[in-house]
């Protein structure tokens, strides 16, 4: 009888360890694209002119190349975060640091995702940008895609008719004062980030009491993520 009980206890311990190991080894990685309503690659004088006036809006997108989150396989799925703040989103910047009193957010998830995968995508976005998702006003579902070409700096993100980002590589002609630098870092932790030129950054949805369609700014970041 003791042998049977001992075997049962050992089996329970093994299964528990296996479960913990499966949860602890969840990994996820993919592509990232971001655009804002103020220049992130710019000179201090230009940045000073934006403070308190521009840079309150942003669109961020993640495409999962491979991986799981909250027990769900999210490979091939895309999610986005659209935000509008009460002040310039300059957190972490070396030139100016603001702490907006309010940041309204809309999360967009891939229509290809199942209900469980959509829940996991929402949780992934919230965990990736916790300070930006304290006031989520809406969760939208859309046909989504994100394609990054890091060498060309060309990124294209679409979320149906709701949101869009299109970028290109920064060129010599994009320097105005020849004193440009990356004033603000990306709004969330990413790998291999580099500033890009934003051809278009738009949001046409609800929930933020604002829509926008901005063109021609040195306001984007392209990168990868892994966790």
Q: What is the pLDDT of residue 28?
A: 98
pLDDT digits (tens, 9 = 90+) for 62-79: 999 999 999 999 999 999
d(CA 220, CA 82): 14
Q: What is the pLDDT of residue 25?
A: 66
What are the helix (H) ranges across 2-59? 2-24, 44-50
Q: What is the pLDDT of residue 180?
A: 78
Hey, which residues does 215 pair with through a beta bridge? 200
Cα torsion 126, 149, 88, 93 to 10°: value is 90
- The backbone torsions φ and ψ at residue 134, rounded to the nearest 5 degrees and listed phi first, read -75, -25
80 touches 107 (CB < 8 A): yes
What are the helix (H) ranges across the chain? 2-24, 44-50, 115-128
pLDDT digits (tens, 9 = 90+) for 124-135: 999 999 999 999
Q: What is the pLDDT of residue 160?
A: 97
Half-sphere exposure of 98 (CA within 13 A, CB side): 21
Residue 37: CB partners within 8 Å, gap ≥ 6? 54, 55, 56, 57, 58, 201, 212, 214, 217, 219
Extract the tokens encoding 137. 């006003």
d(CA 19, CA 24): 9
Q: What is the pLDDT of residue 95?
A: 60
191 touches 223 (CB < 8 A): yes
Question: Per-residue pLDDT for the chain (227 aa), expressed as one digit of tens each?
Answer: 444 444 444 444 434 444 444 445 689 999 999 999 999 988 766 676 677 678 899 999 999 999 999 999 999 999 999 999 999 898 776 665 667 889 999 999 999 999 999 999 999 999 999 999 999 999 999 999 999 999 999 999 999 999 999 999 999 888 777 677 888 899 999 999 999 999 999 999 999 999 999 999 999 999 999 99
Closest CA to 221 of 201, 203, 197: 197
Q: What is the pLDDT of residue 94?
A: 61
């Amino acid at each position: 009888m003791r042998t049977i009980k001992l075997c049962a206890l050992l089996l329970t311990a093994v299964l528990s360890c296996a479960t913990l190991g499966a949860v602890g080894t969840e990994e996820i990685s993919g592509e990232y694209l971001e655009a804002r309503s103020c220049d992130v690659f710019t000179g201090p004088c230009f940045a000073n002119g934006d403070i308190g006036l521009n840079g309150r809006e942003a669109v961020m997108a993640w495409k999962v190349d491979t991986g799981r989150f909250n027990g769900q396989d999210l490979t091939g799925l895309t999610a986005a975060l659209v935000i509008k703040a009460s002040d310039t989103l300059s957190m972490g910047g070396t030139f100016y640091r603001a702490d907006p009193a309010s940041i309204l957010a809309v999360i967009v998830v891939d229509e290809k995702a199942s209900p469980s995968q959509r829940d996991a995508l929402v949780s992934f976005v919230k965990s990736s940008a916790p300070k930006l998702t304290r006031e989520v006003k809406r969760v939208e579902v859309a046909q989504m895609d994100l394609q990054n070409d890091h060498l060309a700096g060309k990124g294209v993100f679409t979320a149906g008719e709701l949101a869009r980002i299109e970028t290109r590589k920064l060129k010599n002609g994009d320097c105005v004062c020849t004193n440009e630098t990356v004033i603000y870092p990306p709004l969330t932790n990413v790998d291999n980030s580099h500033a890009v030129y934003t051809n278009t950054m738009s949001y046409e949805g609800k929930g933020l009491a604002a829509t926008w369609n901005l063109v021609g700014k040195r306001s984007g970041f392209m990168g990868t993520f892994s966790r």
